[in-house]
Amino acid sequence: MNKKNTSKIIFKVTFYFISLWLLFFLGAISTVTLFKDGHFIGKENILKNNIFTIILLVLSVISLSLTKVINHSRKGALCPSYKITSVKNENYEVMTFIATYIIPLVCINLTEIKFFIIFLLLVITLGVIVTKMDLYMANPTLALLGYKLYSIEVAGEPNKTYIVITKDIINKDDNIEWKSLDNERWYVRKV
């Protein structure tokens, strides 16, 4: 695998991992144990009784911190600009992701080791599937972080449609710089 393809895969996996921040956070909330039989478990038992909670909180913080990596790449050199000739909002697709992937994962009992391992295996398997099928961009948690999905056509490439993810609001006749995620998906910023 060449360096360019490796970079694209890393970018896709990064977007997928960023999209999991809310799932990790909700999992942490569902596993936290501070009281037992109506009494505070004590400071000495907090770490021991909340290992999964701590792991999920750390994963949530890591996934949110990856937005800085993406934002840094926005500042770097992207491919030369194109003028948008057609634009369509594609943000409606994100609800499919929530119903299909997020809700079932939140319902797993994460307080037992076997279910926690199953949860992690499902997240990894889902990541491979979502990345290979290029579904990583259609995630509502990315929308919560300010990312938007569009379907665009650009000048000089008639009848070629690209799905783009951006933090900018883009319109017809805007100029964009882009980074290819694959043949049909770009990460863009408005010039």
pLDDT in tens, 153-183: 999 887 899 999 898 999 999 999 888 887 8
Q: Give the tens place of pLDDT for each residue, 19-36.
A: 888 889 988 998 888 888
Contact 181, 164 (CB under 8 A): no
Domain ranges of the chain: 3-190
**Structure confidence at residue 182 (pLDDT):** 79
- The answer for residues whose C-beta is within 8 angstroms of residue 166's C-beta and 6 or more apart is 147, 148, 150, 176, 187, 188, 189, 190
Q: 148-154 and 79-89: which strand pairing?
A: antiparallel
> For residue 165, what is the enclosing H or E element?
strand 161-166
* Residue type at 144 in one-letter notation: L
Helix (H, G, I), strand (E, B) or coil at 148: strand
Q: Is the pLDDT of residue 96 over 70?
A: no
Q: Give the tens place of pLDDT for each residue, 45-90.
A: 888 889 999 999 999 999 999 988 877 766 666 678 899 999 998 8
- The answer for residues whose C-beta is within 8 angstroms of residue 191's C-beta and 6 or more apart is 81, 174, 175, 176, 177
pTM score > 0.85 for this model? no
Looking at residue 167, the DSSP 8-state letter turns out to be: S
